[in-house]
């Protein structure tokens, strides 16, 4: 399971010209799911996201977590995070989970993150053509892979 995290002051997702979710100060998460992902990956990654200290404290140092600032989260499914560009110029998405596997894991991830944060989490619509707007704060962008826990 891979996530690209962007610290934002605002973010929204639009489907068919309708805003389906929006947040203010918090994290925009692009989530990529692969066939091998499990509940363990979800729990580890959600805990990491909720407690990642990437928000500024009173001294301007990135020392506070999403939990500590009572920030919001928006989770967008993005199978392209598992793109392989090893051969040729057309990416392969063979490692990305098919919808019948990915949808339940995506829903579990959202539920676990809501539990860890103690609040509702915004989402896009799985598999839809989504337009994501954001104002990256910093900019701060971090990538985490649950299979490579460095």
CATH topology of domain 2-145: 3.50.80
The pLDDT of residue 150 is above 80: no
**Residues forming a β-bridge with 2:** 32, 145
2-24: per-residue pLDDT in tens? 999 999 999 999 999 999 999 99
Output Rg (C-alpha) for the chain, integer angstroms: 15
Q: Which DSSP string corresponds to 78-146?
A: -GGGG-B-SSSSS-B-TTBPPHHHHHHHHHHHHHHHHHHHTS--EE--TTS-EEEEEEEEEEEEEEEET
Tracing tokens 């860890």 back to the chain, one arrives at: 116
Pairing of strands 18-23, 2-15: antiparallel
Helix, strand and coil in the chain, % to nearest 5: 25, 40, 35
What is the reported pLDDT for 17?
A: 96
* Average pLDDT score over residue span 53-67: 97
**Residues forming a β-bridge with 13:** 21, 132
What is the reported pLDDT for 76?
A: 97
CA distance 61 to 54: 9
80 noted as active-site residue: yes
Q: Annotated catalytic residue: which of 80, 85, 123, 141?
A: 80
């Amino acid at each position: 399971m891979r996530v690209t995290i962007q610290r934002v002051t605002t973010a929204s997702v639009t489907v068919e010209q309708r805003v389906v979710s929006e947040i203010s100060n918090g994290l925009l998460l692009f989530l990529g799911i692969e066939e091998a992902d499990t509940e363990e990956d979800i729990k580890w990654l959600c805990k990491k996201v909720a407690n990642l200290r990437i928000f500024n404290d009173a001294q301007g140092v990135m020392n506070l977590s999403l939990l500590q600032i009572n920030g919001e989260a928006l989770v967008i499914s993005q199978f392209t995070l598992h793109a392989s560009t090893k051969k040729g110029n057309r990416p392969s998405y063979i490692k990305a989970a098919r919808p019948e596997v990915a949808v339940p894991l995506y829903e579990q991830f959202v539920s676990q993150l809501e539990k860890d944060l103690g609040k509702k989490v915004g989402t896009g619509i799985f598999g839809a053509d989504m337009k994501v707007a954001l104002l990256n704060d910093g900019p701060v962008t971090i990538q985490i892979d649950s299979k490579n826990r460095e």
